[in-house]
Amino acid sequence: MSKNYAWVQQLLFPLSLFLSASLLFVIQPMVAKVLLPYYGGTPAVWTVCMLFFQALLLFAYAYAWFLSQLKNTTIWRFIHLTVCLLSFYFLPLHLSSPSAEGSPEITILKTLLLQLSLPLLVIGASAPLLQYAFSQTNNKTRKDPYYLYAASNAGSLLALLSYPWLIERFSKVSEQFHGWNIFYLVYLCLVAGLLLVPNYQSMTQVTEAPPKLVWKQMAHWVFLSFVPCSLMLGVTFYITKDVAATPLFWVLPLALYLLSFVVTFARKPWISYDWTAKHILYFLVFPVLGFIIGVQEISVEQLILAHLLGFFMLALFCHGQLAHVRPPVLQLTTFYFCLALGGVLAGLFNGLLAPKLFADAYEYPLVMLLALLCIPISVQKRGWPIATMVFLMLLIQYWLPETGLFRWIKIHHILEILALIILLLWHKSKLDLFISMLILFAFIFIPQFKSSTILSQQRNFYGIKQVFSQAGATVLMSQSTIHGFQFRDEQSNAGTRAYYGAIFPVVQQMQAASSSLNTMIIGLGTGIMACQFRKQDKVTMVEIDEQVINIAQNPHFFTYLRDCLPQISLMQTDGRLAVAQAKDETYDLLVMDAFNSDSIPAHLLTSEAFNLYQKKIKKNGVILVNISNRHLDVLPVLTAAGRQIDMVVLHKHQSGVGRLGQLSSDWVLLTQNEALAKQVMLHDNWRFVADTKSVLWTDDYTNIVPLLKFRW
């Protein structure tokens, strides 16, 4: 082989791997973003999409393993080039709307399989197959092609980081798919150039016999792959359930996951495995403190940082072990197959099993516990087991009276934090560490250890719901946000509790001008807002989550739907789809209160959505949107959408009033009824939004970066 061609080959292999990885990982947030609107904006969409991509990678790695077993290099190259040609049938790649039938998880997986599978199989097989191909060349570095894995992961990392900050921000989804198709064709040209040249050794020329693989070794690879992948999915769900199901928060954990591969599989690791193994327990302090303290007491940015730091170090540790125990080059495809199998098992566990098995996001701390079993702790210290001390400290914390200094200790979780420090510093053995952390996690996550009485805790594809009793009230909480409550001894209710006192005067103004209001409310919660309406008013309430409907209709929890005056019609579907089914100029009032925790369903706030809403409300109709959110300021989005359709945009912030059971809230009113707008501005503290800051979202373009509220 000539020196010139060797140089070209040295360049084209990493370039092809870089491009294939970029294509594979940039399309993941793209397709999840397209699917989000059909499932109410739930973060579970990303988890299920990740399961599809992990399963596809497993199949792609199995395909690469099969090709690597063929002794004749011409045959396997011909097969792969044929598969590449067949992938043209799927081009141009795009994603059409999924079927509305069946469970959301199965529907998403089926949609992705039918519309994306073969091109993604081709690029998914690149990492093991091109590295294997490189090992069969005459290149002087062919005996250790694992460094090419770093090039592959660098491409993945760059694609993921580029998506929320550049691609999503400056291009529409249709343009993103168009660009993807072009770069896929470029990739196919590169692969054809690499596989058509004849400078490959036949397997019969290879004289080295690799050591025989044993199941225990392969199971170890699978486990070390499963743990960080499951942690990545767990931490993603944990942080997106309270902020926003959006590519920005999807890609951060995935980017860190890939970065840990780049670091550990580089020719000279940037951070040594020995250093990581020695210090890993100290980094666990951050996510566990996040569990203890929670989003109510520190900013979400600090909480996200704590969890991402702990996750990254655990991923670095597990992948560092994988790099240490990687096999010789002839077992490369088997090794990658085991990694993919671990990823699929993680996807199945987090995406399908956990929502059915657990009533809360327990999979994340549970797998963190499993990670402790990988940590090398060789010294068996003598003495009283720390697990016993941790148990006693937490028992004291639970039974502390709610008075004086004891109340301060309890509120600030002093004994929980001390227990964490003690178990990390003075554990006697790996088993002692595991049991101690298990006890601490049980105390943190089991609802019965909370100060409130848990009446119900449920979880499904759409999120986590908890009903509890506290201070004479029954409360509905989604993730970490209160979604309504009812005092047990109250005889009547005007529907002004929680967040709804701010808009009651608007409803009264409209009722004064009409003998009967036709209203649609998107987002059920406890059903409290129905009580703002009269018997003659027609109220349609829309809720996508069957569990929320069951909770609101259960008289042991809430009685608003039973006791309030109007006859209520309930629809179980996505809010935007429900509006689309109505005839034009149907509603006097459209209320949107569909935020799940502080996570926003972006498809309800796009320009196309507000064009739809305007058609479905009457000429003098009103749109009210609850924009109360701890992490995102969505007022600029509504301002832009309202101006786009020539509506007056008003905003009202109302502080909480404890004696009335009212919580702090922010609402936006959009209308073409100038008389009503003037009345509420004059008498009810609504202000006209004259801000120049506006961010127009469309079905083809959304970006939350300009909306983030940073509180460090």
Question: Which CATH number belongs to the domain containing residue 232 in this structure?
Answer: 1.20.1250.20
**Tens digit of pLDDT for each residue in 438-462?**
999 998 888 777 766 888 888 888 8
322-331, 453-462, 515-524: least confidently modelled range = 322-331
Residue 342 shares a structural domain with residue 399: no
Which H or E element spans position 468?
A: strand 463-470
Top-confidence residue, 131 or 320: 320
Model confidence at 711, pLDDT cuts 50, 70, 90, reads very low
Q: What is the pLDDT of residue 40?
A: 67
Query: pLDDT tens-digit profile of 172-192?
Result: 888 999 999 999 999 999 999
* Spatial contact of 287 and 368, defined as CB atoms under 8 Å apart: yes
Q: Residue 542 belongs to a domain with what CATH number?
A: 3.40.50.150
Host domain of residue 539: 494-707
pLDDT (0 to 100) of residue 144: 60
For residue 640, the model assigns a pLDDT of 93
Query: 67, 129 in Cβ contact below 8 A?
Result: yes
Q: In terms of residues, how long is the chain?
A: 712
Instruction: Tell me what pLDDT residue 375 has.
Output: 84
Considering the domain architecture, whether residues 418 and 323 belong to the same structural domain is answered as: no
Calculate mean pLDDT across residues 519-537.
91
> Residue type at 657?
V
CA-nearest of 670, 679, 515, 673 to 605 is 670
Q: Which of 152-166, 187-201, 626-640 has the lowest mean pLDDT?
A: 187-201
Per-residue confidence (pLDDT) for residue 5, from 0 to 100: 55
Residue 243 belongs to a domain: yes
Residue 453 located in a structural domain: no
The answer on 255 and 315 residing in a single domain is: yes
Residue 693 lies inside a defined structural domain of this protein: yes
d(CA 24, CA 159): 9
Residues linked to residue 277 through DSSP beta bridges, in sequence order = none
- Using pLDDT thresholds of 50, 70 and 90, give the confidence band for residue 599: low
- Domain assignment present for 656: yes
Show the tokens assigned to 395.
Answer: 């028992």
* 254 pLDDT more than 80: yes
C-alpha closest to that of 548 among 504, 595, 508:
595
Q: What pLDDT, on the 0 to 100 scale, is given for residue 120?
A: 94
What's the rounded Cα separation, in Å, for the pair 173 and 700?
5
Residue 370 within a domain: no
Same domain, 296 and 395: no
Q: What is the mean pLDDT of residues 220-241?
A: 90
Same domain, 392 and 511: no
- What pLDDT shows up at residue 84? 94
Q: Is the confidence at residue 206, as pLDDT, over 90?
A: no
Distance (Å, whole) CA 340 – CA 443: 34
* Residues 78 and 225 both lie in one domain: yes
pLDDT band at 61 (very low <50, low <70, confident <90, very high): confident
In a shared domain, residues 57 and 16 = yes
Residue 301 to residues 240, 304, 632, 702, Cα–Cα distance (Å): 12, 5, 12, 21
Q: What is the pLDDT of residue 88?
A: 92
Of 303-307, 374-378, 536-540, the range with the lowest mean pLDDT is 374-378
Same domain, 309 and 249: yes
Residue 143 pLDDT greater than 80, yes or no: no
The pLDDT assigned to 596 comes to 55
Q: Quickly state the pLDDT bin for 414 (edges 50, 70, 90).
A: confident
Residue 302 reports pLDDT greater than 90 = no
Instruction: State yes or no: pLDDT of 39 exceeds 50.
Output: yes
Q: Which of 365-379, 396-410, 575-589 has the lowest average pLDDT?
A: 396-410
Q: Give me the chain's average pLDDT, please.
A: 84
Question: For the chain, how many structural domains are there in total?
Answer: 3
Contact by Cβ (8 Å): 468, 454: yes
Average of per-residue pLDDT across 303-312: 91
Kindly state whether residues 410 and 273 are assigned to the same domain.
no
Mean pLDDT across 97-109 = 79
> What does the pLDDT look like over 106-137, one tens digit per residue?
889 999 999 998 999 999 998 888 887 877 77
CA distance 595 to 606: 15
Residue the block writes with tokens 């992705």: 112
Whether residues 203 and 311 fall in one domain: yes
Mean pLDDT of 142-150: 64
Residues 6+ apart with CB under 8 A from 198: none
- Residues 543, 413: one domain? no
Residues 534 and 536: their CA atoms lie apart, in Å, by: 5
Are 526 and 482 contacting, i.e. CB atoms less than 8 angstroms apart? no
For residues 634 and 600, what is the distance between their CA atoms, to the nearest angstrom? 9
Band of residue 245 on the pLDDT scale cut at 50, 70, 90: low
**409 half-sphere exposure, CB direction, 13 A CA radius:** 16
Among 89-93, 316-320, 427-431, 586-590, name the one with the lowest average pLDDT. 427-431
pLDDT in tens, 632-656: 788 999 999 999 999 999 999 888 7
Among all chains, which residue has been given the structure tokens 């004259």?
690
pLDDT > 90 in the chain, percent: 34
At 601, list the tokens: 């369903």
Residue 700 has a pLDDT of 83
Residue 463 inside a domain? The answer is no
- Asked if the structure places residue 164 within a domain, the reply is yes
For residues 343 and 411, membership in a common domain is answered with no
Task: Note whether 387 and 439 are within 8 A (CB).
Answer: yes
308 vs 257: CA distance, rounded Å: 10
* Residue 347 is assigned to a structural domain of this protein: yes
Evaluate if residue 266 carries a pLDDT over 80. Answer: no
